[in-house]
Amino acid sequence: MSLLRVSGLTLTAGDGSEIVSNASLHIDHGEIVGVIGESGSGKSMTLKAIAGLLPGGIVSRGTIGYEKEELTTLSRAQYRKFRDRELGIVYQDPRASVNPVHTVGDFLTEALRVNRRMSRREAETRVHGICREVGLQDPEHQLRAYPYQFSGGMLQRVVIAAALVTEPRLILADEPTTALDVTRQAEVACLLRDQVRERGIGMMFITHDLELAGALCDRVYVMYRGRIVDEAPAERLVESTHPYTRALLRARPTMDRSRRRLETITDEVRAAIDAEVMGA
Ligand SMILES: Nc1ncnc2c1ncn2[C@@H]1O[C@H](COP(=O)(O)OP(=O)(O)OP(=O)(O)O)[C@@H](O)[C@H]1O
pLDDT tens digit at each of 280 positions of the chain: 899 999 999 999 999 999 999 999 999 999 999 999 988 999 999 999 999 999 999 999 999 999 999 999 999 999 999 999 999 999 999 999 899 999 999 999 998 998 888 998 999 999 999 999 999 888 889 999 999 999 999 999 999 999 999 999 999 999 999 888 888 888 899 999 999 999 999 999 999 888 899 989 999 999 999 999 999 999 999 999 998 998 888 877 654 545 444 445 677 777 777 777 666 5
Q: Is 37 in the pocket of ligand 1 (CB under 6 A)?
A: yes
Is the CB of 19 inside a 6 Å radius of any atom of ligand 1? yes
Is the ipTM of this structure higher than 0.90?
yes
Give, in words, the CATH class of 4-278.
alpha beta
CB of 42 closer than 6 angstroms to any ligand 1 atom: yes
Query: Best of 43, 46, 53, 209 to mutate for ligand 1, by most ligand atoms within 8 A of CB?
Result: 43
So where are the chain's domains? 4-278
What's the per-residue H, E or C state across the chain? CCCEEEEEEEEECCCCCEEEEEEEEEECCCCEEEEECCCCCCHHHHHHHHHCCCCCCCEEEEEEEECCEEHHHCCHHHHHHHHHHHEEEECCCHHHHCCCCCCHHHHHHHHHHHCCCCCHHHHHHHHHHHHHHCCCCCHHHHCCCCHHHCCHHHHHHHHHHHHHHCCCCEEEEECCCCCCCHHHHHHHHHHHHHHHHHHCCEEEEEECCHHHHHHHCCEEEEEECCEEEEEEEHHHHHHCCCHHHHHHHHHCCCCCHHHCCCCCCCHHHHHHHHHHHHCC
